[in-house]
Structure 1
């Protein structure tokens, strides 16, 4: 039987949209802006790294990163992210969301800068130091996932909670877009600054010494938005749900939220103490009770995120190879290294503007109207359709219709973002109890990054360019692009079925969804099976 909600939590649930909601979105969202910039800007510079450190002047051909090195440079941040999600997710429930929130951002700032200062006496040394710093960059990024999602869900009201959490995640789209724009700006500046009568024009296929500054500046720029947000992140109060339900400090929770909401709130200390001592509020993550109440839900959130990120990160990280395969990027020997960065950045910017960013904000606009379940199901369905539409007639698109290919390619990004890429972030922040919310979100997110690692070390490796034959020119596109797209289509199809493991959470309070406001049934009452929450059919 549901009990009456604590006054401080009810005040949050029914609060009208106020300035503090938008402040929290910006503060948490800028972390995700930085996350996306740091994770995806590497795809702008990987071709440049190959031309700088693996160029062979004896054969006169632009160099490329060996497949293993390329996969490591791209994927090591994802490994760090996975571990950071698990560690900081657990720490957020043990120490509090706010106490560790600034640590993640500080780590991102320092490691973004350090990535640009990667050093070494030879190519392997530079790549090794770059991988080291990007691992710890990913570790800090990983902590931002469970903490930002949990903080936003615990601040939001139940009417627009989905839109607020999705808006935080939608800043990721602007981070991807900014990565392309910064790549455009930096490469254009360095190219134009030296294209004057005082300097020789770079020959086709050349790698001028100044190109080494380009990739370093692009990676270091990720520290800027994180640094601008650090002060305000430290000024945020702890969430009332952590303070009341986990720290069991009813007075502090009431005082903090009274300042935020500008209303008087009764602490209700005696009632909180009685409520938190009930057996149903004490079960842990590895208990049979958790398995009964939330085992299927955790399986659903982890499997959906795992499958989604295989497709989403694979698309993002090997998009430069797809652009080459359909002729949008010319052969490397027809342009200088800096010009190639410009063209890769331009392609990423166009895809982000046309597909990625709009998809995120469609989710923000409709998630509390349509519901999480329907948006996720729709997204996986259209991703499946477009993946197969790209893959099956791939050689036709490659030879005859590049425009149609790129439009459908952009639509896969649109429906991944107006779909599971957003909902897999939102739902784990809503369905688990407060004392396990950050931990379970971290586990779900880590499953997603495991999928991203499959994409980075598997699909990316298979789609890397191979050296052409003696009679051919330059490098051929990776032979695995068509096959990779077919596999990604089946991955998206599996996501459709896993979506049915996740309940609909729209319009209900966090305590109602998780069962935290469910009273224990006394032994003297009529014997019947206790009702558990979240058995609502996901429709």
Structure 2
């Protein structure tokens, strides 16, 4: 192959000018293939595009088609080489600047996940502050409030969750309708205003303050809910894969990239708990034990919300001025389909073709949130037995800090293994659900023993293990796959819907637990883990190692009503759910036919690039900032397309019915030059 020559032209032509993908054709050597498959010349030229070496063997066999032993050897070889390459890169970075790996992590994990970090800080602060409020204002937050309405006390949780659910759905639609960038800026602005409202919430009496506090949380929750679909989709569609035919980084590390952003939620929880502990020790002027003065409590909780307000204001600035291209891939997808607003047709088709995936993502998220909320059941029980001072708010906060650290470890292990082809998304979620089920079912049927001094250590271990496997499992995977298994035009909507259904699981738990005792809770909760594992096994496809560009290619065929003509790896049995395989979705998988299709699709894409480039040059327009160089288009590929198209014009041979866009482009150029 010749060296890569970057071409300054757009990945997609103007709206309405690119035709639907052509199916395989039989013809001559000029890109129109003999019945036996693509020519050797074409295989050689396009090998690095159609058969990247991290997915295919030297013989052109996809890794999932290899016999088991060869598959293990191939995958291990690729992963070992990638690990060595990354370690060498880290070594070079540290040699040049010892702190450069930290700056890389800040750019690639902290910044993309900053919104989720702030969200984790604030939302978990609500639960952390409740025992402090109960200690300071027992007539309002106690078990039998006399000064406040019990319904409004309960509404603090309900309105927060409902606000998140509304935001997840609404901002998911906004993200697909107006754009990812607008959604990112809007969410940060709403969260900033919401934090100001929470910090300044007040009332003529305690009940009035609770009402103001609850509605402020609802408003803030709307912005928080929007963070889920917007952060997930923008993390997936950033410059790593946007604008390019295919990237090695996307295939090998997409899951890690998204999970590293998501785990900032865990850091938000950790920082919040640490800040509250420090504020209590500083302002309470003692060892953190009760009684707590109301003035001190006021300062603690208001300062704890004022701190993230500063970070959120900076986030508004960063998203408004430093993320100008967040909507680029969505805009490209809309141009392909000549859509200017919300792509209703894609939504309809997604419901037809991906209904099982929607059930998988929404259903498993629902089960996970019941578990995630149910995990908190352990805390009060084992703290009461283990601690010498269970009435101290500080004691509960310290134990919660331990739990957050364990959870954070689960996030990081998930980011390491989520792209592993032998573990990956689907297996990780199934194992996580299974382990959570086990960690709850054991104490459910021997509750008295595990809550006694004799069994409390085991109870504590199961509590921490359930936290670990919840993060190293469904909590991380649901966030990733809820957007990953759907096409670009409706990705944020699908993610937002799944997240909203998931959050209804938390709402169900918060309501249900008010009416059943602790023993009954342990009988109820485990079965959601079993249900989540079953839904994952039956309905969730495994997208580990699958390039999102290949999914978009399949979607182009679906969108044009020619789903049966797609033969690529997006319908390989490895990347389909059991439900999809039973319905025969993978029956058209055919590697030989797919090679032909890929080359013809690239020809069409090249023609569109050429057309747009020439139009801009003719108009004297510079390339837009979103028109990045495309590293996948080499000089040899471009020259091959030019030569075969020109020869096709001379012989009268071309693509379907002689109306290839490439052919039309060259014909118009020839006519123009002859006229001149």
TM-score over 0.5 for the pair: yes
CA positional deviation for 1:319: 5.6
Counting only pairs closer than 5 Å after superposition, residues 339-378 of structure 1 correspond to structure 2 as 340-353=392-405, 355-369=406-420, 370-378=423-431
Aligned residue for 2:111?
27
SS of 2:458's partner is helix
Deviations 1:140-197 (A, max 9, x none): 00111101100011124222001101111111111111121111111111122xx5xx
Aligned residue for 1:150?
233
Deviations 1:298-354 (A, max 9, x none): 1110000011011102324x565335554547454xxxxxxx33222212111111x
Structure 2 CA distance, aligned partners of 1:379 and 1:202?
Answer: 36
Structure 2 CA distance, aligned partners of 1:93 and 1:373?
Answer: 26
Counting only pairs closer than 5 Å after superposition, residues 503-518 of structure 1 correspond to structure 2 as 503-513=541-551, 515-516=553-554, 518=556
Aligned residue for 2:331?
243
Residue range with higher mean Cα deviation, 45-54 or 135-144: 45-54
Deviations 1:82-119 (A, max 9, x none): 10011111001111101221111121122123212221
CA positional deviation for 1:26: 2.1
Counting only pairs closer than 5 Å after superposition, residues 67-146 of structure 1 correspond to structure 2 as 68-146=151-229
When residues 411 and 64 of structure 1 are mapped into structure 2, their CA distance, relative to the original with a 3 A threshold, is: farther
User: Are 2:449 and 1:396 aligned?
Assistant: yes
Aligned residue for 2:432?
379
When residues 488 and 329 of structure 1 are mapped into structure 2, their CA distance, relative to the original with a 3 A threshold, is: farther
Residue 305 of structure 1, aligned match among 358, 365, 375: 365
Residue 511 of structure 2, aligned match among 446, 457, 461: 457
Is residue 288–residue 394 contact of structure 2 (8 Å, CA) maintained in 1?
Answer: no
TM-score (norm 1): 0.78
SS of 1:174's partner is helix
Structure 2 CA distance, aligned partners of 1:512 and 1:182?
Answer: 45
Is residue 119–residue 268 contact of structure 2 (8 Å, CA) maintained in 1?
Answer: yes
Structure 2 CA distance, aligned partners of 1:131 and 1:522?
Answer: 48
Structure 1 CA distance, aligned partners of 2:447 and 2:147?
Answer: 24
CA positional deviation for 1:123: 1.9
User: Are 2:371 and 1:284 aligned?
Assistant: no
Is residue 343–residue 489 contact of structure 2 (8 Å, CA) maintained in 1?
Answer: no
Structure 2 CA distance, aligned partners of 1:77 and 1:297?
Answer: 28
When residues 522 and 384 of structure 1 are mapped into structure 2, their CA distance, relative to the original with a 3 A threshold, is: closer
Is residue 433–residue 533 contact of structure 2 (8 Å, CA) maintained in 1?
Answer: yes
Deviations 1:11-54 (A, max 9, x none): 9x999999889625322211111111111111111122223333
Structure 2 CA distance, aligned partners of 1:432 and 1:115?
Answer: 36
Structure 2: gaps of 5 or more residues:
1-20, 25-45, 56-81, 90-102, 241-249, 579-676
Aligned residue for 2:353?
293
Structure 1: gaps of 5 or more residues:
196-200, 249-272, 333-339, 463-478
Is residue 505–residue 513 contact of structure 1 (8 Å, CA) maintained in 2?
Answer: no
Structure whose CA Rg is larger? 2
CA positional deviation for 1:449: 0.9
Is residue 382–residue 456 contact of structure 2 (8 Å, CA) maintained in 1?
Answer: no
When residues 123 and 420 of structure 1 are mapped into structure 2, their CA distance, relative to the original with a 3 A threshold, is: same
Residue 486 of structure 2, aligned match among 418, 429, 432: 432
When residues 528 and 487 of structure 1 are mapped into structure 2, their CA distance, relative to the original with a 3 A threshold, is: closer
SS of 1:454's partner is helix
SS of 1:160's partner is helix
Is residue 96–residue 242 contact of structure 1 (8 Å, CA) maintained in 2?
Answer: yes
Aligned residue for 1:321?
380
When residues 443 and 238 of structure 1 are mapped into structure 2, their CA distance, relative to the original with a 3 A threshold, is: same
Corresponding residue pairs, total: 468
User: Are 2:540 and 1:502 aligned?
Assistant: yes
Is residue 83–residue 139 contact of structure 1 (8 Å, CA) maintained in 2?
Answer: yes
Is residue 71–residue 457 contact of structure 1 (8 Å, CA) maintained in 2?
Answer: no
User: Are 2:278 and 1:218 aligned?
Assistant: no
Aligned residue for 1:174?
267
When residues 225 and 390 of structure 1 are mapped into structure 2, their CA distance, relative to the original with a 3 A threshold, is: farther
CA positional deviation for 1:225: 3.1
Structure 2 CA distance, aligned partners of 1:146 and 1:191?
Answer: 40
Structure 1 CA distance, aligned partners of 2:363 and 2:517?
Answer: 25
Root-mean-square deviation (Å)? 3.7
Is residue 311–residue 491 contact of structure 1 (8 Å, CA) maintained in 2?
Answer: yes
Structure 2 CA distance, aligned partners of 1:98 and 1:210?
Answer: 40
TM-score (norm 2): 0.63
Structure 1 CA distance, aligned partners of 2:555 and 2:518?
Answer: 50
Is residue 302–residue 445 contact of structure 1 (8 Å, CA) maintained in 2?
Answer: yes
